[in-house]
Amino acid sequence: MTTIRIAHSPDADDAFMFHALLSGKIEHPGLEITEVREDIESLNQKAREGVYEVTAISFHAYPSIAGKYVLLTTGACFGDKYGPIVVAPKALKSKQLLKVHMGIPGKLTTAFLALKLYEHHVAGDTKSGICYTQVPFDQIMDQVKEGKLDAGLVIHEGQLSFGDQGLYKIVDLGEWWHGETGLPLPLGGIAVRRDLPHDVIKQLAELIQKSVQYGLEHKEDVLQAALPYARGLDPERALKFIEMYVNDWTIDFGRKGLKALKILLDRGFREGILKERVDLDECVYDVKKGKLRSELFGEVLLSEPASESALEEATAKIDNPDNPDYPAESPEAPESPEAPESKES
């Protein structure tokens, strides 16, 4: 019996995604699975130490843990024309953000990576004066409302409930990213430790995908299990939030999702936000094929990094549709839910 700890954040979308697997609705022979709930920034930090066998992580954090974990194509969250938002107690123009004291949920969150890219975009050749303070994600809106912060970077359910606090949405980073790239904003995914046996990694990937599919096929039932983690959202808004981040992208993000992730991480590296560059083709585990993407071409072993020349050859093959192992395209992006009401004039 192999003991597996699955660590995820205590949020409605993660609770929804993992419910079937963690509640015993899906059998997992040979595995003893336990659940760990921690905020996403804590999980990002612990992933650097390789603490948990399976963990939710921010994509921003992945380059720093790529040597310890593979990244599954299932279980991921993408914002398709929506995402983390910046809120303030009054309407602000983009340039005004360059002078604020802003609360952020963590420096390894993808929300912060997207915000830094947006900051560079707005600042251009001028110097930004944003002062960042890390604040527990569920306290950011309260501190903005109380005047302790000029603005806040909001993730999770706050993307729908900020108006309840009388706050203004200044920018939706997922909407901005789509305008820049035409692609969804990759936010977070599921990482599995590389030192696990290949058959265990394969089994875990399939189990997580089945758990996501179960939730999508039994929404009303699984919603009830997720509601305690919705932080005050009524069932209608809780379901709306869940559908924003558990959908076809979550079943398997496919080539389009991988393209979006490559562009995000590459841009973060080129702009000096990320310190490590990672070749995702030797790190992304294709659930449909049961292999790393670069293994589809026989170039890489699961526990060993590929040589630079091998990666170049594998990369050249990846976008060749004539290759019989060419990974299937991602499903059509889900229809974007109606954007939350903004008080912007």
Q: pLDDT tens digits, residue range 122-174?
A: 999 888 989 999 999 999 999 999 999 999 999 988 899 899 999 999 999 99
How far is it, in rounded angstroms, from Cα 297 to Cα 315? 10
Predicted pLDDT of residue 329: 46
Predicted pLDDT of residue 234: 94
Q: Pick the catalytic residue: 8, 19, 28, 156?
A: 156
How far is it, in rounded angstroms, from Cα 176 to Cα 82? 8
- Which of 126-130, 180-184, 261-265 has the least mean pLDDT? 126-130
What are the backbone dihedrals phi and psi of residue 319, each rounded to the nearest 5 degrees, phi first?
-100, 25
Predicted pLDDT of residue 232: 86
Q: pLDDT tens digits, residue range 37-51?
A: 999 999 999 999 999
Predicted pLDDT of residue 187: 98
Predicted pLDDT of residue 104: 97
**How many C-beta neighbours within 10 Å does residue 202 have?**
17
pLDDT value at 116 more than 80: yes
**How many C-beta neighbours within 10 Å does residue 306 have?**
20
In the chain, domain spans: 2-79+186-318, 85-181
CATH number for region 85-181: 3.40.190.10
Does the annotation count 178 as an active-site position?
Answer: no
Angle CA(334)–CA(337)–CA(343) in degrees, nearest 5?
A: 150
How far is it, in rounded angstroms, from Cα 119 to Cα 127? 10
pLDDT value at 332 more than 80: no
Predicted pLDDT of residue 297: 55
CA 101 from chain centre, in angstroms, equals 25
On the question of a common fold for 2-79+186-318 and 85-181, the answer reads yes
Which listed CATH number (2.60.40.10, 3.40.190.10, 1.10.10.10, 3.40.50.300) goes with 2-79+186-318?
3.40.190.10
% of residues, the chain, pLDDT over 70: 86
pLDDT value at 3 more than 70: yes
Which helix (H) or strand (E) segment is 168 a member of?
strand 168-172
The pTM assigned to this predicted structure is 0.85
Query: Identity (one letter) of the amino acid at 121?
Result: H
List the one residue out of 171, 182, 204, 201 whose CA is nearest residue 28: 204
SS3 at position 201: helix
How far is it, in rounded angstroms, from Cα 219 to Cα 169? 29
pLDDT value at 215 more than 80: yes
